Homo-oligomer: A and B are copies of this chain.
C-alpha cells in the first residue's frame, strides 16, 4: 500500500435489520431475532471477520413518532449497553456508539465510554451528537429542543469535559505494589475542576486510563455549524452524500476547515454512508434492488419524508415534483440532511413519491449496485477521486447485506491491496492510524487540569 493508493477505512453501521425503511419485510431479514443478543453478536462478528475498522450504532432519545411504529422498526437499544455486549462478543474490531450531548451528564458519559474503552482493550469510539427533536426534549423535562447554536455550544463544552475526565488518570497512575501497600499514585490522578457555562464538574473520573489513551471521537454534522464542530473535534466523520460530486465538495470543505483549526488533514477520516447491493451480474443486483423497492409502502415513505422536511406531505400529489415551500432557516432538525434532500429532488427531477421512496431507502447516502467488481471499482473511484477516506457500510437488509459485502467485496479490496488482510493493531486508534494526541486539548485552548487535589490525600473531616 503506497501513499498514492491509501487503504480504505471501513465502518459497519449495525442498524437493526437494515437501513431500508421496509428492510424488516424482506424474507431474508432477521426480523424475528432482531431483539436477541445472539443476532447482534453475529453481526459484529461477521464485521470482524471482514476486518472492518469498527461497528457503529446510531441512536435517538425517543420512539420516533414520525417513523411510525406501525410501519417500521422504531425502537432503539440503549447503544452503550448493546455496544458492551458486542465488546464481549468480539476481539479486535472497533466499537462506536452514538450518545447525545443534549440531555445527559458528562460524568456519566465519560465513565461509560471510559469503561467500554478499558474493558475492550482500547477499541471504543464516541459519535458525538446533539438532539434536535421536540419529542426527545419531552422525555427530559423540557418543552422543546435547544436552538441549533446552543445545542452545539453545549456539545463543545460537554465533549471538552468528557475528554478532560478521560485524561484525569495518567497512564501509569496505578502502581499496585503489593510489598509497600501502595495501590495508586495520587499525584497522577487529577481533578479537572471544570466550571463552565453549562457544566460544573470536579473530577477526577473514577475509571483509569484506557489502553488507547481515550476513545476515538466520531461526528456526523452536515450543517455549517455541524461541519465546523466536526473540523474542530472529530477524528472520524460520517458523511451522507448521494454521489461523488457532493462527496468531493464535503470532503474538501471539511479538510480545509480542519487545517484552518490547526489540524493535519490526515487526522480526520471521512466516511460517507454507502449501501451496496451485490449481484453475480449487474442484472441480478438490479433485480434485488427492484424487489426491495416493492416492499416499501408508499404511505410509510411519505410519512418518513415528512419527518425530514418537517412538513406534512400527505396532502400533496405523489406524482408531481416536491412543492417549492421549504426554507432551511425554519428547519429545527438536521439542516445538512434537509439541504441534501432538497438538492437531490431538484437535480434529479424526482416526483414526490420517488423522492420519498429514495429517502426511505437511503436517507441521503449513496447506493452502489452491481457485481462485487463493479462496487469495488466504484469504491476505489471515490477514494482516489478525493471523495472519502473509506465508507460507513449501510445495508439494505441484515444479515444478508453484510454477509454478501464481507464475502464478496472485501476479498477483492484485499486482493487489490486496498484493505487489510488481517488486523495489524490491538486498538481502534491503531486500526485507523490515529494515535492519541495528549496535547490536543490544551492546544485548542482548554485549560490544563490542576495537577493535584487535596481531597485525594486528606482524610474526610467532620
Q: Chain A: residues with CB nearer than 8 A to chain B?
A: 22, 24-25, 27, 31-32, 35-37, 40-41, 60-66, 68-78, 80-89, 103-105, 107-108, 111-112, 114-116, 118-121, 135, 138-141, 173, 176, 178, 181-186, 189, 199-208, 295, 297, 300, 302-303, 306-307, 310-314, 455-462
A459–B66 alpha-carbon span in the complex (Å): 6
Given contacts A68-B456, A312-B461, A455-B65, whether A176 and B84 have CB atoms under 8 Å apart is: no
Interface residue from B22, B116, B139 paired with A181 (Cβ < 8 Å): B22
A333–B141 alpha-carbon span in the complex (Å): 28
A313–B460 alpha-carbon span in the complex (Å): 9
Listed A/B pairs (22) with beta-carbon separation below 8 Å: A24-B176, A36-B119, A41-B88, A61-B107, A61-B206, A63-B189, A70-B456, A71-B181, A74-B184, A78-B111, A84-B85, A84-B88, A86-B88, A88-B88, A104-B108, A107-B139, A107-B140, A135-B455, A138-B201, A307-B460, A312-B460, A312-B461
Contact A460 B88 (CB under 8 A): no
Contact A40 B119 (CB under 8 A): yes
A458–B303 alpha-carbon span in the complex (Å): 9
* Whole-angstrom distance between the Cβ of A352 and the nearest chain B Cβ: 14
Q: Which residues of B contact A140 (CB under 8 A)?
A: 105, 107, 201
Task: Determine which residue in A27, A41, A121, A459 has the highest number of CB atoms from chain B within 10 A of its CB, and name it.
Answer: A459
* Whole-angstrom distance between the Cβ of A40 and the nearest chain B Cβ: 7
A329–B286 alpha-carbon span in the complex (Å): 75
Contact A73 B314 (CB under 8 A): no
Contact A183 B24 (CB under 8 A): yes
Q: Which residues of B contact A107 (CB under 8 A)?
A: 61, 103, 139-140
Dominant secondary structure at the A interface = loop
* Whole-angstrom distance between the Cβ of A79 and the nearest chain B Cβ: 9
Contact A201 B141 (CB under 8 A): yes
Interface residue from B22, B135, B176, B200 paired with A32 (Cβ < 8 Å): B176
Contact A80 B82 (CB under 8 A): no
Given contacts A200-B141, A458-B65, whether A82 and B81 have CB atoms under 8 Å apart is: no
Given contacts A108-B104, A139-B203, whether A81 and B78 have CB atoms under 8 Å apart is: no
Interface residue from B73, B139, B178, B457 paired with A25 (Cβ < 8 Å): B178
A104–B108 alpha-carbon span in the complex (Å): 8
Determine the residue in chain B with the shortest Cβ distance to A210: B35
Contact B186 A460 (CB under 8 A): no
Known: A87-B88, A311-B461. 5 other contacts (CB 8 A): A24-B176, A70-B456, A76-B111, A81-B116, A139-B201
Q: Which residues of B contact A181 (CB under 8 A)?
A: 22, 25, 71, 295, 297, 300
Q: Which residues of B contact A70 (CB under 8 A)?
A: 182-186, 456-457
> Closest 6 CB pairs between A and B?
A84-B84, A88-B88, A138-B202, A65-B455, A78-B111, A63-B206
Contact A76 B455 (CB under 8 A): no
Q: Which residues of B contact A81 (CB under 8 A)?
A: 80-81, 84, 112, 115-116, 119
Given contacts A61-B107, A181-B22, whether A207 and B297 have CB atoms under 8 Å apart is: no
Task: Determine which residue in A86, A104, A302, A456 has the highest number of CB atoms from chain B within 10 A of its CB, and name it.
Answer: A456
Q: Which residues of B contact A22 (CB under 8 A)?
A: 181
A313–B205 alpha-carbon span in the complex (Å): 27
Given contacts A63-B204, A140-B105, A459-B303, whether A37 and B176 have CB atoms under 8 Å apart is: no
Determine the residue in chain B with the shortest Cβ distance to A313: B459
Contact B456 A69 (CB under 8 A): yes
Contact B82 A85 (CB under 8 A): no
Determine the residue in chain B with the shortest Cβ distance to A196: B141
Contact B462 A310 (CB under 8 A): yes
Q: Which residues of B contact A104 (CB under 8 A)?
A: 105, 108
A345–B201 alpha-carbon span in the complex (Å): 37
A80–B355 alpha-carbon span in the complex (Å): 41
Q: Which residues of B contact A204 (CB under 8 A)?
A: 63
Task: Determine which residue in A64, A69, A457 has the highest number of CB atoms from chain B within 10 A of its CB, and name it.
Answer: A69
